[in-house]
Amino acid sequence: MRPTHTYIAKTLMNFEDLLADELEALGATDIEILNRAVKFTGDKEVMYKANYYCRTALRILQPITTFNVTNQQELYDKVKAVKWEEYFTEKQTFAFDTTETKSEFTNSLFVSMKAKDAVADRFREIKGIRPYVDKEFPDMRINIHIFRESATLSLDTSGTSLHKRGYRTDSTKAPINEVLSAGLIMMTRWDKKSLFIDPMCGSGTNLIEAAMMAYNMPAGYHRKEYGFENWLNFDPELWNEIRAEGKANILTEGPEIIGIDSATSSAIIAKNNIKNAELGYKIKVITGAFEDYKHEFEKGTMMINPPYGERLDKDNLDELYALIGNTLKHNYKGFNAYVLSSNMEAMKKIGLKPKQRFSVMNGSLECKFNHYEMFAGNRKDYVVSKL
């Protein structure tokens, strides 16, 4: 049996339960919901799979030690005491990511520099040479989290954030984060069999994430590298087996997935990203206005991420949101529509009563993800029909 470890999977606000379900399906145990994170236990295989398959994980951390710290010398000494040579070599690069909350340390950059010095000095004393720091693409990324007087050192198994799937080479302004997109699609409870449509598709992220789910393509299928691949205990044979299994389980048949955008430039970007994701024949992208699109579908799931107001004045924004409501009401009976926005005043202009409201964060913006259940006739008759 392989040894097990405790891991912390980081995620976005209100995605914790979604991520916990993903981890459980991969064989993780001792699952515990934290704030924007999920703690779990697993062996190396579970950790590899969590990085490769989890759509709502931002990164997977492996805590290696926790200690009390009250001053910079204590921080230096305790970081230096860790046997870093068991995790990476002096020929590899490293970097620290630091977060601190309610602690004596108010400068995360200073903490990173002090920790970096401790690691470098340890290697110099033991190996006679120190590893270099690479802040952008280190071989070993180390996370240090200080809460009050408690510090936790963790190895970042992911490397770069897992939202960087590897398929998006170009984007429109303010593209949606891939992890946010995937989590929102999961929130819709889309059955992955009926139509999925994004009428303001931008760079195509929602379309690609939906298609990857429908065709059972692993979230990390297109990523080139993970942090754990640079570790001294990396098991390439196990990793190749996991990837081969993931590729073998990709489906060949799937639902209709359609994207619409009024900007030709956006449609071109979306098509290029879709091609990069190897989903070119599985997603249709149309250049045109949302309100002008004619269809014959009786049901489907629609996801809209309209502008929030950064590039439109209030009158034009209100007009756009009112147009969304009118188009849904008249052209999409039988659909479940979901709208993401940080602009609550503009959302009111949709003029429809949401069945559900979810709170999420899009970067630093507090957003609502509203569910509108579209039905024929009046709401009273519809409710009675469901009884």
Whether 172 shows a pLDDT value over 80: the answer reads no
In the predicted model, is pLDDT for residue 386 greater than 60? no
Q: Is the pLDDT assigned to residue 364 strictly greater than 90? A: yes
Beta bridge partners of 143: 97, 154
Dist CA 134 CA 2 (whole Å): 31
- The fold for domain 5-156 equals VC0802-like (3.30.2130)
The β-bridge partners of 40 are 7
pLDDT class for 105, splitting at 50, 70, 90? Answer: confident
CB of 119 within 8 A of CB of 132? no
Whether the per-residue pLDDT at 284 is higher than 80: the answer is yes
Q: What is the CATH number of domain 178-216+230-386?
A: 3.40.50.150
Calculate the alpha carbon distances from 128 to 91, 95, 96, 119 in Å: 12, 20, 22, 13
List, for residues 56-82, the tens digit of each pLDDT value: 999 999 999 999 999 999 999 999 999
Position 140 pLDDT exceeds 60: yes
Mean pLDDT for the stretch of residues 320-349: 97
Q: In what order do the strands lie in the sheet with 284-287?
A: 284-287, 257-261, 196-198, 300-304, 335-341, 365-373, 356-362
Q: What's the predicted TM-score (pTM) here? A: 0.94
Residue-wise pLDDT tens digits, 251-279: 999 999 999 999 999 999 999 999 999 99
What CA–CA distance (Å, rounded) separates 344 from 379? 23
Average pLDDT, the chain: 94
Domain residue spans of the chain: 5-156, 178-216+230-386
Tens of pLDDT, residues 294-325? 999 999 999 999 999 876 778 889 999 999 99
Band of the pLDDT at 384, cuts 50, 70, 90?
very low
Average pLDDT over residues 91-107: 89
Q: What is the pLDDT of residue 380?
A: 57
pLDDT at 375: 84
240 token code pair: 């190749």
pLDDT attached to residue 101: 84
